[in-house]
Structure 1
């Protein structure tokens, strides 16, 4: 690698390499990235936030989602698993929003069944809401009508509220008048309450 590259440029080249490798042989790429989880490869989240493994997993999920999902399910470190799930969802959402959405809905249902919380306790910034927002971002890239159709098809609840918020923000940026009409047409629905305010 060129010695004249600064840290960011070098990191970006390595990330692109892991993306390409992830598409060709995702399992090997992820194993190598995780095995060589040097401090320099940690993301903002610190240890467990391996951006190279994330990139490989995202690319792999876009071409072989079933294998990528199996790999995620076998990761023992919960922090690492949570971070890498973003990569999985990112890869799925690019090619198959339905598969990404189904994965998040199933993840959310399983999490709600197994997690014990004191009565009245709510998680701030629930990871599943961030996952659904990630899918919403990909849907917005495909156009407002695609994003709206996707958000409206979600089952009512907190995840639909999160998706609705994200799509509303994107809609406001592209066409504020149409966004107002869309939000107004959903004003009576519980999932739209945050957007209405």
Structure 2
């Protein structure tokens, strides 16, 4: 079975245990004539998929107990993947979702790491610096680059720790390996959304 997670900028294809991160046009060209089960958060890309492929949407089958109306199907699938835990999708936005007792308990949406960087750069050319993503957030830094880095990383870490409590921490997304590196025992896996999709399809 081939699965697809259609986001706002990319189509993520899961086939035989591997994930491909493709531009929409490329994904449609490579897989358009194959049977692909997909979820989608982009109405614009969905139009092209419906028009140009044989793909089958399964978004309505991805149901998460306790989810709120309007919650993204990709986040619902992510939360179905491994049971109780705090789930982080570190992409264009940084989503934090807590699952407890088998139900969605709530979460938060933050700017993605590079959105923070762009926001600071827009304030002043002096702040147009690449952050040091490996900075130690337990030490108060001196220096513009170090303080800029601290200002991005420390609040994100604090919010994740606050929402996590004693639950396992699961991370996915393009910046997932970086975010996972900030925590002991964080589990990064770029197949989590697809695991949730498969569970949802098996249970219907």
- Common fold by TM > 0.5: no
Taking structure 1 as the reference length, the TM-score comes to 0.26
Which structure's residues are more often strand, by fraction? Answer: 2
Taking structure 2 as the reference length, the TM-score comes to 0.25
Which structure's residues are more often helix, by fraction? Answer: 1
